[in-house]
Amino acid sequence: MSVPALRRRASGVLLHPTSLPGPHGSGDLGTGSARFVEWLASAGQSWWQMLPVGPPGYGDSPYSADSTFAGSPLLVSLEGLADDGLLDAEALRADTMPSTERVDFGAMHAHRERWLRAAFEAFRSRAPAHVRRAHEAFCDREAFWLRDFGLFRAIKRAHGGLPWTRWAPELRRRDPTALKAASETHADVVAFERFAQFAFDEQWRRLHALAAEHGVALMGDLPIFVAHDSADVWQSPGSFKLDEAGEPTVVAGCPPDYFSATGQRWGNPHYDWEQMRATGYRWWLDRLRAAAARFDVVRLDHFIGFHRVWEIPATEPTAVRGRWTPTPGADLLLAVQAQVGALPFVAEDLGETTPEVYALRDRFDLPGLAILQFAFGDDPAAPSFLPHNFGRRRVVYTGTHDNDTTVGWFRDEGGGDTTRTHEQVVRERATALRYLGTDGREIHWDMIRLALASVADLAVVPAQDVLGLGSEARMNRPGQATGNWSWRLLEGALSPAVAGRLAELTHTYGRAPEGRRSA
Query: Which residues are the active-site residues?
Result: 301, 348, 402
Taking the C-alpha atoms of residue 507 and residue 273, their distance in angstroms, rounded to an integer, is 46
- Using a 10 angstrom Cβ sphere, with 0-12 exposed, 13-18 middle and 19 or more buried, the burial of residue 90 is exposed
Alpha-helical (H) ranges within 282-369 are: 282-294, 329-340, 355-363
Q: Rounded to 5 degrees, what are φ and ψ at 243?
A: -90, -175
Angle at 294 between CA 190 and CA 37, to 5 degrees: 115
Quote the DSSP letter at residue 58: G
Distance CA 25, CA 107 (A): 8
DSSP count for the chain of H helices, then E strands: 19, 12
The alpha carbon of residue 37 and the mean position of all alpha carbons in its chain are separated, in whole angstroms, by 18
Q: Which residues, in sequence order, are bridge partners of residue 369?
A: 395
Residue 470: phi, psi to the nearest 5? Answer: -90, -165
One-letter amino acid for residue 342 of the chain: A
Q: What does each C-alpha distance from 517 to 45, 449, 487, 512, 514 come to in angstroms?
A: 11, 17, 31, 7, 8
Own/partner contacts of 415-421, CB < 8 Å, gap of 24 or more, are 417/259, 417/260, 417/477, 417/478, 417/479, 417/480, 418/258, 418/259, 419/256, 419/257, 419/258, 419/259, 419/260, 419/261, 420/258, 420/377
Parallel, antiparallel, or unpaired for β 217-222 and 394-397? unpaired
In 3D space, the residue among 314, 296, 241 whose CA is nearest the CA of residue 271 turns out to be 241
Q: Provide φ and ψ at 180, rounded to 5°.
A: -65, -45
List of residues 6+ apart from 227 with CB closer than 8 A? 57, 58, 64, 65, 66, 233, 268
**Secondary structure string (H, E, C) spanning 224-237:** CCCCCCCHHHHHCH
